[in-house]
Amino acid sequence: MAASARRGSPLWALTISFFVLFVLAPLYWVVITSIKPSSDYLTTPPVWFPAKPTIVHYTAALFSYRGLQGLTNSLVIASAATVLSTVMGTMMAYSLARFQTGGRHLALWVISQRFLPPVAVVLPIFLLFRSWGLYDTRIGLILAYAFMTLPLSVWMMYAYFRQLPKSLEEAALVDGLSRWQAFWMVATPLAAPGVAAAAVFVFIAVWTEFFFALILTSRYAFTLPTIFRAFLGFQGMQYGEASALATVSLAPSIVLGMLVQRHLVRGLTLGALRG
Amino acid sequence: MGQAATATPFGPTSAARRRAISAWTDRHFKWLMVAPASLLILVFSIYPMLFSLWVAFVNYDFQIPGHDFVGLQNFQQVIDDPLAWSSLGVTIALSVAVVAIEFVLGLALPRPLVETNRRRGLVMSILIIPLFISPVIVGQSWALFLQRPFGPADYLLSQLFNRPVAISWIGEVPWVYVSIVLADVWQWTPFMFVILLAGLAAIPPHIYEAAELDGVGAFQTFRYVTAPQLAPVMLLAITLRLLDAVKLFDVIFMLTGGGPGTATYTTSFYLYQIGFQQFHLSIATAGSWLFLILLSVVIIALVRRLLRAEEA
Together in a domain, A39 and A108: no
- As a whole number of angstroms, the distance between CA A205 and CA A152 comes to 9
Q: Decide: helix, strand or coil at residue A178.
A: coil
pTM of the model: 0.91
Nearest-10 Cα torsion for A159, B193, B92, B252: 100
Q: Does residue A202 lie within any of the structural domains?
A: yes
Q: Which domain holds residue A251?
A: 67-268
pLDDT score recorded for residue B120: 64
Q: Tell me how far apart the alpha carbons of residues A31 and B141 are, in angstroms, rounded to a whole number.
A: 10
CATH assignment at residue A167: 1.10.3720.10
Write down the pLDDT at residue A234. Answer: 56
Verify that A21 and A155 share a domain, yes or no.
no
Q: From the list A24, A26, A119, which residue is nearest B288 (CB)?
A: A119
Does A7 have pLDDT greater than 70? no
Question: Which sign does the torsion angle of CA B307, B309, B310, B312 carry?
Answer: positive
Domains annotated for chain B, with CATH where assigned, are 73-311 (1.10.3720.10)
B 208-267 residues with CB below 8 A of A?
208-209, 211-212, 217-218, 221, 233, 236-237, 240, 243, 246-247, 249-250, 253-254, 257, 267
| SS3 state at B69 | strand
pLDDT for residue B169? 86
Identify whether A275 is part of a domain: no
Closest to A77 measured CA to CA, from A191, A238, A213, A175: A213
Q: Given CB atoms, is A2 within the 8 Å cutoff of chain B? A: yes
The per-residue pLDDT for A237 is 61
Same-domain check for residues A25 and A145: no
pLDDT band for position A15 (cuts 50, 70, 90): confident
pLDDT of residue B2: 43
Inter-chain touch A150–B40, beta carbons under 8 Å: yes
Asked if the peptide bond before residue A225 counts as cis, ω within 30 degrees of 0, the response is: no
pLDDT over threshold 70, residue B115: no
Query: What is the number of residues in chain B?
Result: 312
For chain B, give the percent of residues with pLDDT over 70: 89
> Quick one: A34 and A128 in the same domain?
no
Taking only the tens place, the pLDDT of each residue in A150-174 is: 999 999 999 999 989 988 889 998 9
Instruction: Single out the residue of B132, B24, B28 nearest to residue A268, CA to CA.
Output: B132
Burial pattern A58-67, b for ≥16 Cβ within 10 A else e, equals bebbbeebbb
CB contact under 8 Å between A268 and B45, yes or no, is no
Which of the four pLDDT bands, split at 50, 70 and 90, describes residue B116?
low
User: Do residue B150 and residue A106 have CB atoms under 8 angstroms apart?
Assistant: no
Q: Does the pLDDT at position A257 exceed 60?
A: yes
Contacts of A239 in chain B (CB under 8 A): 144
| Strand, helix or coil for residue B254 | helix
The structural domain count of chain A equals 2
A140 within some domain: yes
Q: What is the SS3 assignment for A218?
A: coil
Same domain, A81 and A200: yes
Please say if the pLDDT value at position B58 is more than 50. Answer: yes
> Does residue A273 sit within a domain?
no
State residue A236's pLDDT score.
55
User: What pLDDT sits at residue B117?
Assistant: 54
Last residue of a domain, one of A15, A31, A56: A56
Looking at every residue in chain B, the average pLDDT score rounds to 85
Q: Are residues A79 and A186 in the same domain?
A: yes
- Angstroms from B161 CA to nearest CA on chain A: 15
Answer yes or no: is the ipTM higher than 0.85. yes
The better pLDDT of the pair A125, B169 is held by A125
Q: A174 at the B interface (CB within 8 A)?
A: no
Nearest to B271 among A12, A119, A225 (CB): A119
Q: What is the pLDDT of residues B214-230, one digit of tens each?
A: 888 888 888 888 888 88
Please, what is the angle between helix A138-163 and helix B29-41, to 10°? 140
Average pLDDT score over residue span B2-25: 69
The secondary structure of B35-58, three-state, reads HHHHHHHHHHHHHHHHHHHHHHHE
Task: Quote the pLDDT of residue B66.
Answer: 73
pLDDT digit string (tens) for A174-194?
998 889 999 999 999 999 999
The verdict on A129 and A203 lying in the same domain is: yes
| A103 shares contact with chain B (CB less than 8 Å) | no
Top-confidence residue, B3 or B282: B282
Confirm if A243 and A31 have CB atoms less than 8 A apart.
yes
User: What value, to the nearest 5°, has the Cα angle with vertex B161 and ends B155 and B163?
Assistant: 70
Asked, for residue A94, whether it belongs to a domain, the answer is yes
Same domain (yes/no): A79, A18: no
Whether A15 is covered by a domain: the verdict is: yes
pLDDT of residue B4: 44
Q: Does A176 touch chain B (CB under 8 A)?
A: no
**Domain final position from A35, A56, A77:** A56
CA distance A218 to chain B (A): 13
Q: CA separation (Å) from B286 to A254, A270, B7, B46? A: 38, 30, 63, 16
Cα separation of the two ends of chain A: 22
Same domain, A255 and A181: yes
Band of pLDDT at residue B13, cut at 50, 70 and 90: confident
Per-residue confidence (pLDDT) for residue B311, from 0 to 100? 57
Residue spans of alpha helices (H) in chain A: 2-6, 10-34, 56-59, 67-99, 103-114, 118-132, 138-163, 167-174, 179-181, 188-190, 192-208, 211-216, 239-259, 264-268
- Amino acid of residue B136: V
Write down the pLDDT at residue A6.
46
Task: Give domain status of residue A62, yes or no.
Answer: no
In terms of domains, do A85 and A33 share one? Answer: no
Q: What is the tens place of the pLDDT at every residue in A208-246?
A: 999 999 999 999 999 999 998 877 765 556 888 899 999
pLDDT of residue A226: 93
Residue A4's pLDDT is: 42
Indicate the pLDDT class of residue B136, thresholds 50, 70 and 90: very high
pLDDT value for A235: 56
What residues have CB less than 8 Å from A175, skipping those under 6 apart?
none
Please report whether residue A274 resides in a domain.
no
Domain match, A25 and A100 both: no
Query: Same domain for A239 and A103?
Result: yes
pLDDT digits (tens, 9 = 90+) for B164-209: 888 888 888 889 999 999 999 999 999 998 999 888 888 888 888 8
Q: Give per-residue pLDDT as tens, A102-116.
A: 888 898 889 888 888
| Residue A135 pLDDT greater than 70, yes or no | yes
Taking the C-alpha atoms of residue A72 and residue B50, their distance in angstroms, rounded to an integer, is 34
DSSP character at residue B261: T
Q: Yes or no: say if B180 and B256 are a contact pair by the CB < 8 Å rule.
A: yes
